[in-house]
Chains A and B, each alone.
Chain A
Amino acid sequence: MNNHFAKTELSKKQKLVLYGSIGVILAGAPLIMPNNYWLRIYTMSGLYVMLALGLNVVAGFAGILDMAYVAFFGIGGYTFALLSSSQFNIHLPFLLVLPIAAFISMGFGFALGSTSMRLKGDYLAIVTLAFAQIFKLMLLNLDRPVNITGGVNGIYNLDPINILGFKLVSPVPYSYLIWFSAIIVITGSFRIKRSRYGRGWQAIREDELAAESMGVNTAWMKLMAFAGGAFIAGATGALFASFQDSVFPNNFDFPQLVIIYCMVILGGLGNIVGVILGAILLSILPEFLREYGAYRMMSYGLILIVLMALRPQGIMGEIRFLVKGRRRPDKDESGLLRSSTELYYEEKEQAIEKHRKRYSKGDRIILELKNVTQNFGGLKAVDNLSLKLFEKEVLSIIGPNGAGKTTLFNLVSGIYSPSSGYILFEGSDIAGLRPHKVVKTGIARTFQNLRLFSTMSVLDNAKVAQFCRTKCGPLSILLHLPIYWKEEAQTETRVREVLGLFGARLTGYRFDQQAISLSFANRRRLEIARAISTNAKVLMLDEPSAGMNPQETIEITNFIKSLRDVYGYTIIMIEHKLNVVKTVSDRVIALDYGKKIAEGNYEEVASNKQVIEAYLGRKGH
C-alpha cells in the first residue's frame, strides 16, 4: 500500500547525475571564463544567488516585505571591513570575521524585527525602509568627528582572505570560495523549506490567523525569518566586502535592494530554483545592456511592474516538472490512474474493527467558562457566560445569528482575550493565552468560513498542525540531525493516520492536491482533519455541516459521532442544522445576545419557550 504514497521525487540515479553535473559545471566554470571581466560576473552571480536566497527566506517563505535587507548586507560588509583592515588596525582572521559579521547582522535583524514585527505589511515595509535610510546616513556621516565608516570614501584595502594559511588573492580561488558558500546557502534553503519551519512560514503567508490557530507561533516564526535573512545577508556582505576589497555606502543603497527584489520576484517568491535562476539571469543579462548603462535600473523597474501585473508567481511559477516529479498526482508509475476506492474499503474494515471501542460522556469537567464577558465597544458579544464541558462529551451551541457563538469560540481559542472572566482547561486558566499556546494545551478548532492554506497540499495542511508537537530548531533542520528525521517521520505517520479517518475523501492521490482544488465538502473535512492533527483532546467545530448537501450532512454527522464514540474526542460544536444537533449531542446550550438562555438535552432545549422566541420571534397577542 505504501507505494500509493511514493513521493514524486527524483530517483537516486537521477539525483547522482544532477549533483554530478552541477559539481562539474561549478568546478569547470571559472576555468573557461574568457577573461577576468566575465570571471568577475560569474563570482558576482554567486554572491547574488546568496543574497536573493536570503531575501527569499524573509519575503518568499514568510511573506514579509523587508526593506532593510540591504542594510543587513551592509552591516555584514562594514563589520568585515572594520575588523579586518587598517581602519582601526584590527586584523582578525577570516574564519572568525565571517561568523561575527553574520551574527552581528542577525542581531540587528532580531532587534529591528522584535520591535516592528507586529506591524502590518505596508507599515513594516516603511519602518524597515526608514531603518535602511538611517543606516545609510550613518555610513555617510560617521567619518566625523571620529572617522569610523570613512564617509563617502568608504573603507578600502581590506586584508586578503587567509584560510588556515592559504591566502586568496587571485580571482579564481575567490570564485570557488563564493560559489562554495552559495551551495551551502542553496542546500540550507532546500532543507529549511521542506521542514516544519518551511511549512510554518508558508502557512503564515497563506493565512496568518489560521496558522496561529493551528499552533504555529507566528510572531516567533516571522522573527526567525527576519533574523535568518539578516544572517545570510550579513555573511554575504562579508564575502562581498572581501571580494571587492572595499566597502562604500553606495554598495548598500536602495537600488541594490531593488535589484535583489527583482531577482526574487522574477524567480517566484518562495521558489528556490526560480530564485537561483532569477539571480543568475539578472546578474548576466544586464551586462549585454551595458552600452545602454542607464537603462539598466529602468528595466528593473519595468520588470517589477510587468511581472506583478502579468505573472506575479515568477518565471518558474508553474513549471512544475523541474521542481517536482513529472507525474500527475492521480497516476501511478505506469501511468494508470491510481485507484483510491480500494484504499477506502481497506480503511473501512479497519474502522469497523475499531468500532468495538466505545466512549461516552464522562463526569470530569474538562473545559469550564466562568463569568466570561467580551465587550466590543458598547456591545457585549458574550455576556457573563458560564458553561461546563465534560470529558468525551458532545456539546452543541445553538442560537440565532449574532448570538455570540463564534465569539465564544474565538475566546476559547485565544483569538480574543476576554474582557473579564476565567476559561479553565483541565484546571488551569487559559484566558488570554495566544492561540498557538491554547492549541498546545489540547484545544483545536475549525473555522466557519474555511481558512485552509489554499495552495498547500492536503498533506502539508495537516502537517502544519503538527508544528506545535515538534520542536527541532533551525540547526537540527539545516544539519539534518537525527531528531529532525525522527520528528518528520512522526509527523508523517500521524498525519496519514488522521487523514485515513476520512478514507478516500482525503487520501490516495488527494494527498498531493492543493487544498483549493478540493470540493467544498472535502475542504470542510480537511478543516476537521487539520484540527485533529494537532493531537487535540477537545475539538471545536464551527458549523461543520454548513454548505453540505443532505447526503454529505449525514456522512459528516456520522463521522462526528464516531469521533467521540470510537476515538474518544471531546467535541463542542456550533451547528444550525437541528438534525445534526439532535443526532450527535449529549447536551445543547442555546445562546442569545451573548447570554445562555437554555441548557439541557436536545428535547428540553428545543421545546424551551425562550429558544423558540429567539428563533421565531414572540407570538403576537
Chain B
Amino acid sequence: MRLSRDLVASLLPIYPELEPEARAEVQQSVQEFMAAELTLAPWHLRSGLFVLGLACALHCRLCLLGRPLGAVPPERRAAVLARWERLAGNLGRSFLRAVRGMVVLAFYDHPLVLARLGAPDPARRQAERRAYRGRRLQERHA
C-alpha cells in the first residue's frame, strides 16, 4: 500500500503545474483509482502486479538503504526507478509502464487537471451536450 502511494507520488506528471492543495487532491484521487483497478483486474494480472510490486519495493529499499521511496527527494526517487527499469528486464519495465499508464490516465482525467489544461469539465460537458441534444430533438419534432 505504501509502495503504491509512493509510486503514485513519484510517477505523477509535473505538467500542468498545480497548487499544492490541488495536487494533493489529485494524488489522492489517483491513488483511489489505482486501488480500485487492482481490485478489479483479472486475478493473474493482479497477481503479477503484486509480485512485481514487491520486487520493486525491495529494490527501492535496498537502493535507499532501508528508507521508503516517499522519504527521499523526487530526483532520487526518479533515479531509483530508472535503475529498476534498467535492471528488471522486460517484466519489470512492463510493470512500471502499466502503473505509469494508470497514474497518467487518472491524472489527466481529473477535473482539476483538465481545468488547468483548459479542457472542459467532463460533468459540465455532459450536461451541456444532453441539453443540446434535447433542444435539437425538440426542434425536429416541432
Partners in one complex: no
